[in-house]
A and B are shown apart, each in its own frame.
Chain A
Amino acid sequence: EVQVVESGGGLVQPGGSLRLSCAASGFTVSTSAMTWVRQAPGKGLEWVSTISDSGRDTYYADSVKGRFTISRDKARNTLYLQMNSLRVDDTATYYCVKDDCSSSNNCYLAYYYMGVWGKGTTVTVSS
């Protein structure tokens, strides 16, 4: 069964750092496009970051660019999100997502939809 499980959330002060982890099972993280999505309390979904299946390309929302870094560990089959210079408005539940695509051509063109979601990990930024 394809599954992702997030961890690493917690309470951190503004300006602090946190690293989220996403352990995958049933598939290989290092050959899959993977994404982080967040949801602030009572709000909608916000795309945060994506790493391409090759790993050559990473993408970030403007709101986190320069502060967050997405990466993956092949040996651990794990995706990470390093979050630095955290702000109060980064408070949210962070979801790890395995991206999918419906054809090889769509994969090539990066027409990824968000296929498998984890349960999320909560990050609270507060003094």
Chain B
Amino acid sequence: EIVMTQSPATLSVSPGERATLSCRASQSISNHLAWYQQRPGQAPRLLMYDASTRATGIPARFSGSGSGTEFTLTISSLQSEDFAVYYCQQYNNWPPRTFGQGTKLQIK
């Protein structure tokens, strides 16, 4: 089973600033990584797939990078609606399809 590890668990950033979230896979997953955003009380939604491709309707301030075992999600200028929990998930080698434990992005 591929273990996904996200860091940090909680990130405090001021609106308008940049946020950088990390995700590490226990073995290489090529670029088969997705990021999901979950706002409080809502279902998750797809942000990014294939590590760096934005899903439909996702603003350009979101960008993803990485391949192999190290991945990053960057939000260039935080808006109020971006404060949420973010999960990474690998789909290279499954079952099982595994998620990271999540990074909570909160207002500083």
Contact = CB atoms under 8 A, between A and B. Distances in A.
User: Helix, strand, loop or mixed for chain A's interface?
Assistant: strand
A44 B49 CA distance: 19
B87 A45 contact: yes
Task: Determine chain B's interface SS by DSSP, over half rule.
Answer: loop
B43 to A, nearest CB: 5
Contacts of A50: 95, 97
Interface string A52-63: 000000011110
Contacts of A95: 43-44
A114 B46 contact: yes
Interface in A29-58: 35, 37, 44-47, 50
Nearest to B53: A102
Interface string A92-123: 00010000101000000011111111111000
Interface of B: 32, 34, 36, 38, 42-46, 49-50, 53, 55, 87, 89, 91-92, 94-102
